[in-house]
Amino acid sequence: MEKVLSDLWQTRTDSPFPGLTTHAFLWTGRNALFYSTATDADFSGLEDLGGISDQYLSHRDEAGPMLTKIAGHFDSTLHAPAAELLEIGQHAHVDVPLGSRHVDINGVEIIPTPGHSPGSTCYLVNGAEGAYLFTGDTLVYGDAGNWWAGYIPGIADADALADSLRLLRTLRPDVVISSAFQGDSAVHRIQPGRWTDHIDEALKGLSTSSPGYA
């Protein structure tokens, strides 16, 4: 486990596809794990940090056999998008289906952001170093130093994704943490006044990759 903020730790790097890397992140403010791991290699490290009380998936691509292992080992509660219960449920029981924007009992704000996938969901928490926004694959910082939307032609919904980005534009995160990422890190501090510029950059890129979006 690697400490990336005073109350946020990341698991070791997984590489589901060439050129693409992922981490799961443990927020020790509530011992909540965001996203998921590909192996159980970090279980002992997670135990040393107090274990996992709740796991939050941003979308179906994070689902896999480890969900059941995590729930069984840590007796944790799985939160996941209701719109993707069929896909995620093939791997584990979803204890808390998520379908509307609200702040839950753990102080996690649930923000549905469909587009990358039908159930894509972002999470906002008040961390020790400001507001942490977990964007899944909805918004990613690329290795070219640019922000881009998680649009996959033929799979993603460009109109829905654009609307979701506009919703994220209304937030004021201090740190943004994506699931998949390129470059050195998935954790990025947002400079004051720059957040809307980053969203506008992603929207512009989306218009280029999907000219027909509204």
Q: What is the mean pLDDT of residues 31-36?
A: 97
Q: What is the mean pLDDT of residues 3-32?
A: 88
pLDDT at 8 exceeding the cut of 60 = yes
> Contacts by 45-49 with C-beta closer than 8 Å and gap 24+?
45/1, 45/9, 45/11, 46/1, 46/11, 46/74, 48/1, 49/1, 49/9
Residue of 152 and 51 predicted with greater confidence = 51
pLDDT at 207 exceeding the cut of 60 = yes
Question: Model-level pTM?
Answer: 0.94
Rounded distance between C-alpha atoms, residue 137 and residue 134, angstroms: 9
pLDDT of amino acid 142: 77
pLDDT of amino acid 16: 66
Q: What is the mean pLDDT of residues 27-52?
A: 96
In contact, 137 and 120? CB cutoff 8 Å: yes
